[in-house]
Structure 1
Amino acid sequence: MRAARMLERNGTPVLQDVPEFGVPEGTCRIEVLAAGLQNGDLMRAQGRYKVPEVPYTIGGEGVGRLPDGRRVYFGHSIPESGAVCEFTIVPEEEVWPIPDEIDDSTAIALAIAGTGALVPLELARIQPGENVLILGASGPLGQIALQLSRAMGAGRVVGAARGLAALERLKQRGIADDIVQLGQGDDAAALKHASGNGFDVVLDCLYGPPAEAALRATALGARMMSIGIQAGETMTVSLKDLFQRTHFGVGTSHRSVDERRAAYERLLDFARSIPLTVESTVFDLEDVGGAWAALEAGGVAGKIIVRVKK
């Protein structure tokens, strides 16, 4: 079978023919239709996160078909098998059915990215009319978070990120009331200006200096939920800025499979009642190098999808 293989650290995946894996007890063989790439895949290639031995097949999530024809989402494929390949092996408990009305790209975006937005927003307990900031709004997680915040009762939702074109599309689609382009000078001042009387809830996908700026733009009683480290692994917090506010670190990937599946099913319920839309950029398997280059460069619209079967 064909598979996208990472041959060296910090390399570019190449398409190779490799033998299929056996199907150990408790796992499923899945014919892959499409696979998703995310920052975690890039961090693995750099040796920073859950490092597999090279060479290995990239990716860990996607949509495919079981031998009986059922279409499913899969996450956490066994490390040796990967996801950007024609067939993969996945533990049975990580194989989740998806409804026919949800397309492949959306199903992939709703899983890791979508539940990554849902769980911290549920914990933040958005109250009707509250002012919400999504920090790192242009990616798939941020796009879903903007829409979920509105569905949960937010009165005003603001998206912040570095890429102006992607931000403007969020406003044109009507999922952000206002946008803030980060990195143009005084981020704290720009966020305060957009916040009105201060943000009540911040979903922070970036951490580092942008999170410091966002905290200074919050209202008393604010809840700031940090879930990513794209802009830095540390931040400096003044007690004055934290006074009468709460700052949580929230993750979903290490939760039990039952918790993650329940969150995914809650998200599918949202998708049935409101049209959750996520931008995606699709590459064919033959252009996996282009998909990887786009992941490295950043600034791609939404989720990067590798279409394995046309």
Structure 2
Amino acid sequence: MPSNAKIVISQFGAPEQLEILDSDIPSPQEGEVLVKVSYAGVNPIDVKTRAGLGWAAQHNKNNLPWTPGYDISGVVLKQGEGSRKFNLNDMVTGFIGFPLRGGGYSQYVCVPESELALVPEDISLKAAAAIPLAGQTAAQALEKAQIQSGETVVILAGAGGVGHIAVQIAVAAKTKVYATCSADNLEYVNSLGATGLDYANTDCLKEIGHIDVLIDLVGGDTAIQAMKHLHPGSRVITVPTITASSVCEHASQMGIIGMGILVEPDVTQLEELVKLISAGMIKVEIEQVLNYQDVVTAHKKIETGRARGKILLNMQS
């Protein structure tokens, strides 16, 4: 009987606190399926939670060891009672267990079938694992901003996991898109249809002129500095929850509309994103796929804030 390796947070702290434990393969309950996980996405929220920061950490502190991970792709191995949505061996993707249950950093995980979307054969399981949390965060941030064709949209960190999807959705909505990134990623961001701006130039937003919408994927001082280039009536959507209240407070002092966002899993929206990838309308960038044993390296890479696109763990390697 194969065992189920899973990565756990036994105590909050540095990346080295992550451990790999072996457990039994779980059995799906009513309405669930057992997924053999191919790839798990690594997200900034995983890193913050592991460090003991934010809502998921606060609510799981008495529930350690806890398995992080909200993005998975894989294959349906077993169906629980009443499970009708998928067939055995279907390829699936999901934004699972958010924010408290998690569990994606596992070789096998039981998931309510309502949290999963079917992956068509023309999409790789890598791309399918990269889209759930980042894609839905990007889509929901832009929905909340109510972007309109012809508006000027600035995206902070436009080459990252959420950023590169947000850029493509905003370009498709016929807005004028500017995106900050490192010098190494300028060409990449331009290839997505935006104008790349090197964030090492602290005045990079100055030349734009009128900015209607700021999508802040960085938070803190970076967001507050960027708001100097906005005007009363501009909209700011700030994604990092830890600094959201200070960013929104600063916005209101400037007469800017500031809103935080906590992404909400929405399987219908996930199915739409999968269709857009299938149609070639969204291209998913994956910087690196690491063996799950190298999860510490993956977390350190996310902490640098310099990943282009997504970092994935190969859970079967």
The aligned runs of 1:99-248 (5 Å cut-off) are: 99-154=120-175, 156-161=176-181, 163-171=182-190, 173-182=191-200, 187=202, 189-193=203-207, 195=208, 197-219=209-231, 221-229=233-241, 234-235=246-247, 237=250, 241-242=254-255, 245-248=256-259
| Residues 37 and 73 in structure 2, CA contact (< 8 A), matched pair in contact too | yes
1:305 paired to 2:312: yes
| Residues 14 and 288 in structure 1, CA contact (< 8 A), matched pair in contact too | no
Equivalent of 2:260 in 249, 256, 260: 249
Alpha-carbon distance in 1 for matches of 2:102, 2:204: 45
Equivalent of 2:274 in 243, 268, 276: 268
| Residues 204 and 226 in structure 1, CA contact (< 8 A), matched pair in contact too | yes
Alpha-carbon distance in 2 for matches of 1:238, 1:82: 36
Shift of 1:90: 1.2
Q: Secondary structure at the match of 1:148?
A: helix
| Residues 131 and 284 in structure 2, CA contact (< 8 A), matched pair in contact too | no
Shift of 1:249: 2.2
Alpha-carbon distance in 1 for matches of 2:101, 2:192: 42
Cα shift readout 1:189-242 (whole Å, capped 9, x = no counterpart): 43122x1x2211211112222222222222554222222247675235266732
The verdict on how the C-alpha distance between 1:190 and 1:87 changes in structure 2, with shifts beyond 3 A counting, is same
Equivalent of 1:56 in 47, 66, 88: 66
Q: Secondary structure at the match of 2:167?
A: helix
Alpha-carbon distance in 2 for matches of 1:263, 1:126: 18
1:27 paired to 2:32: yes
Greater displacement, 261-270 / 108-117: 261-270
Alpha-carbon distance in 1 for matches of 2:101, 2:242: 26
Q: Secondary structure at the match of 1:57?
A: coil
Alpha-carbon distance in 2 for matches of 1:29, 1:115: 23
- Equivalenced residue count is 294
Q: Secondary structure at the match of 2:89?
A: coil
The verdict on how the C-alpha distance between 1:232 and 1:138 changes in structure 2, with shifts beyond 3 A counting, is farther
Shift of 1:114: 0.7
Shift of 1:282: 0.7
1:2 paired to 2:5: yes
Equivalent of 2:288 in 281, 285, 288: 281
Shift of 1:251: 2.5
1:75 paired to 2:98: no
Alpha-carbon distance in 1 for matches of 2:237, 2:121: 33
Q: Secondary structure at the match of 2:34?
A: strand
Q: Secondary structure at the match of 1:224?
A: strand
Alpha-carbon distance in 2 for matches of 1:234, 1:221: 18
| Residues 286 and 311 in structure 2, CA contact (< 8 A), matched pair in contact too | no
One-letter amino acid of the structure 1 residue matched with residue 93 of structure 2: Y
The verdict on how the C-alpha distance between 1:292 and 1:123 changes in structure 2, with shifts beyond 3 A counting, is closer
| Residues 204 and 224 in structure 1, CA contact (< 8 A), matched pair in contact too | yes
Alpha-carbon distance in 2 for matches of 1:61, 1:43: 16
TM-score calculated relative to the size of structure 1: 0.84
Q: Secondary structure at the match of 1:22?
A: coil
Cα shift readout 1:87-126 (whole Å, capped 9, x = no counterpart): 1111221122122222223222321111111122123333
Instruction: Calculate percent identity across the aligned residue pairs.
Output: 23
Task: Name stretches of at least 5 consecutive residues in structure 2 with no aligned partner.
Answer: 78-87
| Residues 286 and 309 in structure 2, CA contact (< 8 A), matched pair in contact too | yes
Alpha-carbon distance in 2 for matches of 1:215, 1:39: 23
TM-score calculated relative to the size of structure 2: 0.82
Task: Name stretches of at least 5 consecutive residues in structure 1 with no aligned partner.
Answer: none
Alpha-carbon distance in 2 for matches of 1:148, 1:81: 27
Q: Secondary structure at the match of 2:306?
A: coil
One-letter amino acid of the structure 2 residue matched with residue 224 of structure 1: V
Alpha-carbon distance in 2 for matches of 1:127, 1:296: 33
Alpha-carbon distance in 2 for matches of 1:295, 1:26: 34
